[in-house]
Structure 1
């Protein structure tokens, strides 16, 4: 378990002793696909560290329309915002596949922040990154055409979650077409058209819950 924790971005600078402390205060839980971990407007009660699998963060409109905000994969964490400001959850979280998590209760999370500055610093940096991403997304929705938004989203997923071999980046994505379209802020039809074009030009190749991005062809 210590080796798994060392792969978590939040804990990359901690010693083995500190990692053992994390394990002592956390509860490991495993969930099947499709489980809602918390819903928008729920009170925040826990912080989550993803060890295996993937989770989508999303919101719903009053008419029930879903908007996927981000994809969380192994080595990432989520759920800290409502613990920090004491307000309800700003979005919902749902497992996309069989998922293992470390869950830290809210009061224990606050103790951890007080005692481990490196964790506090990392969380602050992550919140700043998300704010920048939100600002960029608002800009894209306002000024950028659908094709470019799809391309940017594909590259973003590859950069954040992919593994590179030469000019090819492979990424496993459990999101379906509807969810990918929601992340990019385009219609499913627009997404399909762009992905089909990229596939025809051999920039993207698709497998089961996986795609490969050829950077040489993308830049060619």
Structure 2
């Protein structure tokens, strides 16, 4: 599990000894598909690390319409703010498939931080990095056009979960249109129009169980300024 913890941004700069200390306060849980882990407004008291499976995080209005904020996969983490302030959840999290998670409660995490200032300092640095990344997302939604937001999120997903094969990146999962439209802040009609153009230019190839991004063709296209 130490190798898994090394992939968690919050713990990225920690030594093996520090990671062993963190691992000592984790618990392992298994969830069936479509299990709600927490709802928007619930008390925030747990941090999650995905061992296997995937989880979507979203908000919804009174009519039940969802706005997907992110989709997390193996090696990703979410809910870290609960470790710090314990305030109510700002979104809902639901497993998309059978999912195995490591969890850390804020109570045990606070005890760890009090005992290990070196770990506390590294956590603060990583939280600052996440805040800067959020500022970039706000900028994107404000200033980038829909097609640019879609392409940027496809590239981001490829970098996080893809496998490089020559000039291409292969992502070994079915392309999730609903999640991608939510992440880019566009409706499905706009997403499908952009996808058709990406496929026409052979920048993106969609398969049944995987999709491929041609990096060379992307950087030769008008999508990259």
TM superposition score normalised by structure 1: 0.86
Aligned to 1:58: 58
Q: Distance in 2 between matches of 1:187 and 1:24?
A: 43
For 1:97 and 1:45, the matched residues in 2 are separated by 23
Per-residue deviation, 1:88: 0.5
1:57-206 equivalent positions in 2, closer than 5 A = 57-117=57-117, 119-173=119-173, 176-206=176-206
| Deviation (angstroms), 1:175 | 6.5
Q: In the aligned structure 2, how far is the partner of 1:122 from the partner of 1:70?
A: 24
DSSP 3-state at the match of 1:199: helix
CA–CA distance in structure 2, aligned partners of residues 21 and 137 of structure 1: 33
Higher deviation after alignment, 173-182 or 116-125 = 116-125
Q: Is the 8 A contact 1:10 1:76 kept in 2?
A: no
Contact 2:40 2:88 (C-alpha < 8 Å) held by counterparts: yes
CA deviation digits over 1:120-171, x for unaligned, max 9? Answer: 3454344334433333333333332221221111112122332223211122
Note the C-alpha offset of 1:69.
1.1
**Mapped partners of 2:82, 2:5: distance in 1:** 23
Aligned mates of 1:133, 1:5 — CA distance in 2: 20
Distance 2:191 2:103 in 1: 35
TM-score w.r.t. structure 2 length? 0.84
Distance verdict in 2 for CA 1:120–1:80, change over 3 Å:
same
User: In the comparison of the two structures, how many residue pairs are matched?
Assistant: 219
> What SS does the corresponding residue of 1:97 show, helix, strand or coil?
coil
Mark the CA change 1:129 to 1:22 in structure 2 (over 3 Å): closer, same or farther: closer
Deviations 1:49-84 (A, max 9, x none): 111222122111233221111222222222121331
Q: Which runs of 5+ in 2 are unaligned?
A: 221-225
Q: Distance in 1 between matches of 2:56 and 2:119?
A: 23
Contact 2:50 2:77 in 1 (8 A): yes
State the distance in 1 between where 2:35 and 2:147 align: 32
Residue in 1 that maps onto 2:31:
31
Q: Gapped runs of 5+ residues in structure 1? A: none
2-side partners of 1:82 and 1:23: how far apart? 18
- Distance in 2, matches of 1:72 and 1:215, equals 23
The two structures, once aligned, show a CA RMSD in angstroms of 2.4
Report what 2:15 is aligned to: 14
Determine helix, strand or coil for the equivalent of 1:132. helix
